[in-house]
Amino acid sequence: MPIFSYTVANTEGKKLSGTVEAPDEQTARVELNNLGFSILDLKETAEAPEVDDKHTKFIFEAIDKNSKLVSGTIPAENKEEAFTKLKSEYSLTVSALWKEDASEKEIAEARKTGTKAIQDELVKEEEQKAKEDLKQIKEEQFTKTKIEYILKEVHGILQTFDQDIDMEKKAEINKRLNKILRIKQSKNVNYILTSAEDLLKYIQEQEKTLKEAGKQEKRLELHLRTKKLLDELNKTSSPKSISDDIITKINNWEESHTGKKDKEKVTTAFIGSILAKVKSWFTTPPQFLAIKEQIKVYNRQLWEFIKLYFKEPAPEYKAKVKASLKTIWKARKKAIHSLAQAKKLMKERDKAEQPEEHIMMSFVDELNALTGWLLAFYIIYYIVSLYITTKDFGLTEIPQAFFVYDSLLFKYILVIIFLLHATTSLKVNFFRKSVIASFVLLPIFLFGSIVVLLNF
């Protein structure tokens, strides 16, 4: 069969060259085009393709992006390089790959493992696509909810300022409103958000008309209401803080390991219990969220009023802004006090509802606290001793007690206290209710202590 040498560009614009066997030039062109290549040069050659001594010739079977079965050969240093090259440069999904001189048994094994690899890859692609689709649906729903709220608020603004905005400006606002009503069901989220932002900024520009008419109070109200809507529009469904980001990542990990075999593994269960504990530290109770959001709103309003205070030269306007600042500050202080009281009540309720723990667990708590204080004391004592004995303070004689770091007994005690503190900390913070942990951690502590005593 004739051999054709080619130079092509792949979908990323990278030049590739090689040879292809085909009955004629047209067939060779079709095969290269089916792989998504732009043919730069194609000609028949009588010379067999040269293979570097370092390279091995591999035979492959694959599926191209049009779901067509293709096969051929590729030179590479090893199997991994051949696989990577076929996938990245030729955009092929490799189903089997073997050396040119492989036996029938090796070929059969390559086809078997290759088919399994394709199945695994398809499953991963489906899972990834499902996640992306779910993320897109959530984003669309989040955007639609925001747009519905903003449309409702804009209608309220138009009713409030109906007599203050001239007919021409109202007609332009209604024109932009109608545009959003037409496109709000679109999947183009960015276009919807841009149109809504354009509407709100246009309404905000009507401050100039109110300022010229001397309606400072209404102008202030319009500024605050449109600014609030713009802030609402710019909110995202992504995590807002480090705590939210941590919780989101833990939730994603839990979802990816739910209903899978690896959930049954001891290591996965262990990691899951630790992550659940970490998540509880960063999770804000629902009863606190509303108050915290309100405090954030007050903070934004305070900042806006402060900017307005320094922006406007009119004394009467500054006086009104100052009065509003005082009102918002009082409301903010009240919200902060309510949050503190809610936290206090929850702590008292949790303490009242918490069942009395076993006497052994209480002993572990006390032991953990004691070893913690002892460690702190010994470390401070060690640092002070080292400092006094190595610096020249003009002392004629240094008490022997300050040469504690030379004592083997001190080192044994310090390391054993550290091991005891680490063991009790694991029990108290991560395995408080686990009976199995009690039987596992104690032997680990004893074994560690013996190793220290024998090898220190």
pLDDT tens-digit readout, 433-452? 777 877 888 888 888 888 87
Domain end, chosen from 182, 216, 237, is at 237
Q: Are residues 119 and 151 in the same domain?
A: no
Of the three residues 127, 152, 172, the one that is the final residue of a domain is 127
* Per-residue pLDDT, 270: 74
Residues 367 and 426 in one domain: yes
- The mean pLDDT value of the chain amounts to 79
Q: In whole angstroms, what is the distance from residue 74 CA to residue 216 CA? A: 77
* pLDDT value of position 263: 45
Kindly compute the dihedral angle of the four CA atoms of residues 160, 164, 167, 172, in this order, to the nearest 10 degrees: -70
Question: 304 in a domain, yes or no?
Answer: no
The pLDDT assigned to 388 comes to 81
> Is residue 332 included in any domain, yes or no?
no
Six token digits for residue 354 = 């918490």
Tens-digit pLDDT profile for residues 198-231: 988 898 888 888 877 777 778 878 888 888 888 8
Of the spans 28-37, 195-204, 404-413, which averages the highest pLDDT? 195-204
CA angle 95, 101, 106 (to 5 degrees): 50
Residue 243 has pLDDT above 50, yes or no: yes
- Say if 423 falls within a structural domain: yes
> Is 378 part of any domain?
yes
Co-location of 107 and 22 in the same domain: yes
Which of 223-232, 279-288, 400-409 has the highest mean predicted lDDT (pLDDT)? 223-232
How many residues comprise the chain? Answer: 456
Tell me, yes or no, whether 18 lies in a domain: yes
**Section 244-265 average pLDDT:** 67
Per the CB < 8 A criterion, the answer to whether 98 and 76 are in contact is no
The proportion of the chain whose per-residue pLDDT surpasses 70, expressed as a percent, equals 88
- State the total domains in the chain: 3
What would the two tokens of residue 49 be?
């393709």
Residue 336 domain-assigned (yes or no): no
Does residue 6 carry a pLDDT above 60? yes
Whether 31 is in a domain gets the answer yes
pTM assigned to the model: 0.44
The pLDDT tens digits for 114-159 are: 767 766 776 777 777 777 777 788 888 888 888 888 889 889 888 8
Domain presence at residue 267: no
- Whether residues 98 and 34 share a domain: the answer is yes
DSSP conformation letters of 392-453: ----S---GGGGGGG-HHHHHHHHHHHHHHHHHHHHHHT-TT-HHHHHHHHHHHHHHHHHHH
Of 222, 237, 252, the one marking the end of a domain is: 237
pLDDT reported for residue 239: 53
For residues 81 and 51, the model is more confident at 81
Q: Which domain holds residue 64?
A: 3-127
